[in-house]
Amino acid sequence: MSEIWRAVPLTIFPEMFPGPLGLSLAGKALGEGKWALSTIDIRDFATDKHRSVDDTPAGGGAGMVMRADIAAASIDAARGAMPADTPTIYLSPRGTPLTQARVRELAAGPGVILLCGRFEGVDQRVLDARKVEEVSIGDYVLSGGELAAQVLIDACVRLLPGVAGNEVSLAEESFAGSLLEYPHYTRPREWEGRAIAEVLLSGDHEKIAKWRREQAERFTKERRPDLWEKLKGR
């Protein structure tokens, strides 16, 4: 029996977890033991009576920097409790952009250790010394890594066996096949003068599949010309 997939956030705001991950699909799966969450409070590794984890930046400038020694102590504690091949990720706008392909890899592994930064950043030496991977969830800046960590965890958890239930909808959705997802409709048949496309009510599965493919292509061309170019190049 293999251990269950485990997320280990390292944070100075442990109260932020599980947060939204305690509800809906991820929350239900968490309650059912299909994944596990072991949040670690970085302040537990502080060495002074104020439990401080940051200090002023060498060279001057705005903000505060998380200390290497304290961040490292929290990483080492997390690693000690996880299989050796568990990736350690620092959430940062400077990181490699998160993709569905990386999410799939992470979901297939033993879990993730997620260092959540606050302040201006983390002392670079801990990232180098502990070979920490840097991951960004998009080209915008959050006030801390916790929300980004939750995004990453959610994306992984829904791929775990027995969590999402509907394997077909997982396979068909955006990025699995690289096209954006086709539009969905349900009753009523007409709403505010807008009718559902006849083909969807025709019962002709081949025609429906063709129509959905065309819609997916249209959305992809319009909204993500970058993805569309990549697809055409294949």
Quick one: which of 38, 52, 100, 136 contacts ligand ADE (CB under 6 A)?
Answer: 136
The verdict on 148 binding ligand ADE (CB under 6 A) reads yes
The verdict on 53 binding ligand ADE (CB under 6 A) reads no
Quick one: which of 37, 142, 160, 164 contacts ligand ADE (CB under 6 A)?
Answer: 142
Find the distance separating the first CA and the last CA of the chain, reported in whole Å. 40
The verdict on 91 binding ligand ADE (CB under 6 A) reads yes
Exposed e or buried b per residue across 1-30, where buried means at least 16 C-beta atoms within 10 angstroms of its C-beta? eeeebbbbbbbbbbebbbeebeeeebeebb
The verdict on 12 binding ligand ADE (CB under 6 A) reads no
Q: How many CB atoms lie within 10 A of CB 134?
A: 16
- Quick one: 93 or 216, whose CB is closer to ligand ADE? 93
Specify the residue for token string 């280990």.
Answer: 8
Quick one: which of 83, 109, 138, 188 contacts ligand ADE (CB under 6 A)?
Answer: 138
The verdict on 25 binding ligand ADE (CB under 6 A) reads no
The verdict on 111 binding ligand ADE (CB under 6 A) reads no
The verdict on 150 binding ligand ADE (CB under 6 A) reads no
The verdict on 196 binding ligand ADE (CB under 6 A) reads no
Number of residues in contact with ligand ADE, rule: CB under 6 A?
11
Least distance between ligand ADE and beta carbon 11 (Å): 12
The verdict on 92 binding ligand ADE (CB under 6 A) reads yes
Quick one: which of 145, 163, 182, 228 contacts ligand ADE (CB under 6 A)?
Answer: 145
The verdict on 140 binding ligand ADE (CB under 6 A) reads yes
Q: Taking contact as CB under 6 A, which single stretch among the options 31-39, 81-89, 134-142, 217-225 is the one that binds ligand ADE? A: 134-142
The strand ranges marked E within 77-209 are 88-97, 111-116, 121-122, 133-136, 190-191, 194-195
Burial of 38 (0-12, 13-18, 19+ CB in 10 A): middle
C-alpha to C-alpha distance for 159 and 47, rounded to whole angstroms? 39
Nearest partner of 37 among 72, 3, 57, 8, judged by Cα: 8
Q: Taking contact as CB under 6 A, which single stretch among the options 3-11, 33-41, 86-94, 157-165 is the one that binds ligand ADE? A: 86-94
Backbone angles phi, psi at 91, to 5 degrees: -80, 125
C-alpha to C-alpha distance for 107 and 135, rounded to whole angstroms? 15
Q: Report the interface residues with ligand ADE, using CB under 6 A.
A: 91-93, 136-138, 140-142, 145, 148
